[in-house]
């Protein structure tokens, strides 16, 4: 049997760090992007006898893990023991040790044995330890960041929030982030509800019962057809309709309520600005040209009924979201891992990007800051050229990047989508976030990529 320990000082009281861990969604936040985990069954919380069953997929390993909780001491400790899974033995104790009134030591103590006993321990022990160091370095970094975000809004009452697009990259992470922070979250779903609190709607048919939104403090609208793939005329119609129809339905529904939610936060995109070369643009800049710009303008205009009803409306203009678990980055990584990555076109076009965890922080700010309204650019204050993006990604992945994608190839393969999303660029400044004192936890591309790929230093 081998012992592994990882400790970090958290700038929050032990009771608060413990409370965050007691919420089921904390497990989702602690799962790193390079591991695919699906919770199958959950019985109880972290008290003695509680059971957690999940399916995992990490590299070549996949299977089912069943753990039971024991040795629970409220506010100070709990242990989960594997009763079925990939290890011959696994017992993990989480401890929350007070360090004065405003800080604590978070300690993870793991006792484990690898399959086949001593032989594999001797031959495979070092890779296993490296994997655990990678995992717990990520877990402690995210724990500290999430708790600090929620501490920033501790004076604001916990909210009741509905989220559309809750199964998407940003939406799924947002639901877990808010719920782990103590907020009550409902999902807007198009199919039969699978979780308590799910709200059924159908934007295509214009169906959303106003009473289903009663009691909500906020709605976050993230749903919409993906823009990835070649833009046929049918695809473009779906992209536009999915945004305008759903946004109009939400805005009109909340506008007609006697007691509507106090804030409607809606996704938008920096595609509004079109291809601007080296020009620095912010929320006061005029729209550009192209299909994406047209979509975003009509998307944001669809919020007008809510504005006219006196509801605070925030349009979050997202840049490229840097996330290891999906989105644009996940589509690039296989080529880079194979050593086939490279610059796109001449590589000079700007990419306004943002770390996924900073996206979640920006949404929390939009929900809780009553002074924030209108368009908000959700991008890092440090945009990069495509060439710099390529170089940084290759460096973090420790792979060469010498296979360029020429402009002619982009035109031929991707057509209009390639011209607007791969060859065009926007150098966007998040002026409103900066004016509101927003803290970027990952302001540089290198830092954001290292978190997502477990290359933290």
Write the DSSP assignment of 119-187 as a string of letters. HHHHHHHHHHHHHHHHHHHHHHHHHHHHHHHHHHTTTSPP-EEEEESTTSHHHHHHHHHHHHTT-EEEE
How much is the pLDDT for 189?
A: 96
Using the predicted structure, report yes or no on whether residue 2 has a pLDDT greater than 50. Answer: yes
Identify which of 402, 401, 393 has the alpha carbon closest to the alpha carbon of residue 445. 393
Instruction: Give the pLDDT confidence of 243-282 residue by residue, as tens digits.
Output: 999 999 999 999 999 999 999 999 999 999 999 999 999 9
Please report the pLDDT score of residue 61 as a whole number: 77
How far apart (Å, rounded) are the C-alpha atoms in residues 366 and 419? Answer: 32
**Domains along the sequence of the chain with CATH:** 2-149 (3.30.530.20), 160-452 (3.40.50.720)
pLDDT of residue 127: 83
Strands 218-221 and 320-322, by their bridges, are: unpaired
Mean pLDDT score of the chain, rounded to an integer? 95
Question: What does the DSSP 8-state code read for residue 202?
Answer: B
The pLDDT, as a whole number, for residue 194 is 83
Q: What is the pLDDT of residues 334-362, one digit of tens each?
A: 999 999 999 999 999 999 999 999 999 99
Q: Does pLDDT of 193 surpass 90?
A: no
pLDDT tens column, 92-108: 999 999 999 999 999 99
Read off the pLDDT of residues 221-240 as tens digits, 9 standing for 90 and up. 999 999 999 999 999 999 99
Q: Give the pLDDT mean for 172-199.
A: 95
What pLDDT digit, counting tens, does each position of 10-67 carry? Answer: 999 999 999 999 999 999 999 999 999 999 999 989 999 999 999 998 777 789 999 9
Q: What is the 3-state secondary structure (H, E, C) of 358-415?
A: HHHHHHHHHHHCCCCCEEEEECCCCCEEHHHHHHHHHHHHCCCCCCCECHHHHHHHHC
> Locate tokens 């309204």: which residue?
373
pLDDT, one tens digit per residue, over 393-450 is: 999 999 999 999 999 999 999 999 999 999 999 999 999 999 999 999 999 999 999 9
On the question of pLDDT at 284 being above 50, the answer is yes
C-alpha separations of 108 from 27, 135, 294, 336, 442 in Å: 14, 11, 51, 34, 25
Residue 246: partners with Cβ closer than 8 Å, 6 or more residues away: 164, 203, 221, 223, 224
- For residue 117, the model assigns a pLDDT of 59
CB atoms within 10 A of CB 138: 23
pTM: 0.95
Q: What's the average model confidence in pLDDT over 211-228?
A: 96
Residue pLDDT, tens place only, 110-139: 999 988 655 445 444 678 899 999 999 999
pLDDT of residue 119: 44
**Angle between the N-to-C axes of helices 118-152 and 169-180, in degrees from 0 to 180, rounded to the nearest 10:** 80
């Amino acid at each position: 049997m081998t012992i592994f320990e990882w400790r970090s000082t958290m700038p929050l009281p032990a009771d608060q760090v413990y409370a965050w861990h007691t919420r089921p969604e904390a497990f989702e936040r602690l799962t790193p992007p390079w591991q695919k985990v699906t919770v199958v069954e959950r019985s109880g919380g972290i008290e003695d006898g509680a059971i957690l069953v999940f399916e995992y997929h990490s590299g070549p390993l996949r299977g089912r893990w069943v753990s039971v909780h024991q040795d629970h001491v409220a506010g100070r400790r709990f242990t989960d023991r594997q009763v079925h899974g990939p290890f011959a033995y696994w017992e993990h104790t989480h401890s929350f040790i007070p360090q004065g009134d405003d800080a604590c030591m978070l300690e993870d103590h793991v006792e484990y044995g690898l399959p086949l006993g001593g032989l594999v321990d001797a031959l495979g022990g070092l890779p296993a330890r490296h994997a655990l160091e990678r995992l717990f370095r990520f877990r402690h970094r995210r724990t500290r960041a999430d708790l600090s975000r929620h501490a920033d809004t501790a004076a604001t009452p916990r909210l009741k929030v509905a989220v559309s697009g809750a199964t998407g990259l940003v939406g799924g992470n947002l639901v877990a982030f808010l719920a782990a922070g103590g907020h009550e979250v409902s999902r807007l779903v198009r199919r039969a509800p699978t979780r308590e609190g799910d709200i059924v709607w159908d934007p295509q048919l214009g169906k959303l019962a106003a009473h289903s939104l009663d009691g909500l403090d906020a709605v976050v609208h993230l749903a919409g057809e993906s823009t990835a793939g070649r833009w046929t005329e049918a695809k473009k119609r779906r992209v536009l309709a999915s945004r305008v129809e759903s946004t109009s339905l939400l805005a009109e529904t909340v506008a007609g309520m006697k007691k509507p939610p106090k804030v409607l936060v809606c996704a938008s995109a920096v595609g509004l600005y079109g291809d601007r070369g080296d020009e620095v643009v912010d929320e006061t800049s005029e729209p550009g040209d192209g299909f994406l710009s047209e979509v975003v303008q009509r998307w944001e205009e669809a919020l007008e009924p809510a504005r006219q009803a006196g509801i605070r409306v925030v349009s979050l203009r997202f840049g490229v979201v840097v996330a290891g678990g999906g989105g644009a980055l996940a589509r690039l990584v296989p080529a880079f891992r194979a050593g086939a990555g490279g610059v796109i076109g001449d590589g000079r076009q700007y990419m306004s990007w943002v770390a996924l965890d900073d996206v979640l922080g920006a949404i929390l700010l939009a929900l809780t800051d009553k002074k924030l309204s209108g368009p908000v650019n959700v991008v890092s204050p440090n945009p990069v050229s495509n060439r710099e993006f390529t170089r940084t990604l290759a460096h973090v992945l420790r792979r060469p990047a010498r296979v360029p994608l020429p402009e002619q190839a982009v035109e031929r393969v991707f057509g209009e989508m390639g011209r607007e999303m791969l060859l065009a660029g926007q150098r966007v400044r998040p002026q409103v976030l900066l004016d509101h004192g927003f803290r970027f936890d990952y302001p540089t591309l290198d830092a954001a990529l290292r978190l997502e790929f477990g290359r933290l230093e």
